């Protein structure tokens, strides 16, 4: 939990910066390749991310309890993932000029 608090403070410094939430190649093998594709003739485009429930059960604390059950961490995690999803959505809309 101490490491989480230390990293939380650093993360909050960038929390209003959309660039901070861009998915890097390190965390997704296909995301940036997907953005490079020309899908302008496609009738629909679908982006996908790991959801908060899957992520919240996968990441555990020192007591091996999923972070989804920690009230403090859960609220931060939900907001963090929402910002990631909004960034993904915005980049797709900008690339394909969607409303």
Q: How far apart are CA 6 and CA 57, in angstroms?
A: 22
Q: What local confidence, expressed as pLDDT, does residue 17 receive?
A: 92
- pLDDT band at 25, cuts 50/70/90? confident
Token readout for 68 is 């989804």
- Kindly list the distances between the CA atom of residue 91 and the CA atoms of 23, 28, 59, 96, in Å, as whole numbers in the listed order: 11, 15, 27, 9
pLDDT in tens, 35-84: 888 888 888 887 778 888 998 999 888 889 998 998 888 988 899 999 99
Q: What is the phi-psi region of residue 64: left when phi exceeds 0, alpha when psi lies from -120 to 50, beta otherwise?
A: left
Q: How far apart are CA 89 and CA 95, in angstroms?
A: 10
């Amino acid at each position: 939990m101490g490491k989480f608090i230390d990293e939380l403070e650093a993360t909050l410094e960038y929390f209003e910066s959309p660039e901070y939430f861009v998915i890097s190649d390190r965390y997704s093998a296909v995301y940036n390749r997907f953005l490079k594709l020309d899908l302008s003739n496609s009738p629909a485009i679908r982006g996908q991310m790991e959801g908060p429930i899957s992520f919240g059960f996968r990441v555990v604390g020192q007591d091996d309890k999923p972070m989804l059950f920690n009230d403090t961490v859960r609220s931060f995690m939900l907001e963090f993932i929402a910002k990631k999803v909004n960034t993904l959505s915005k980049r797709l809309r900008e690339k394909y000029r969607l409303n």
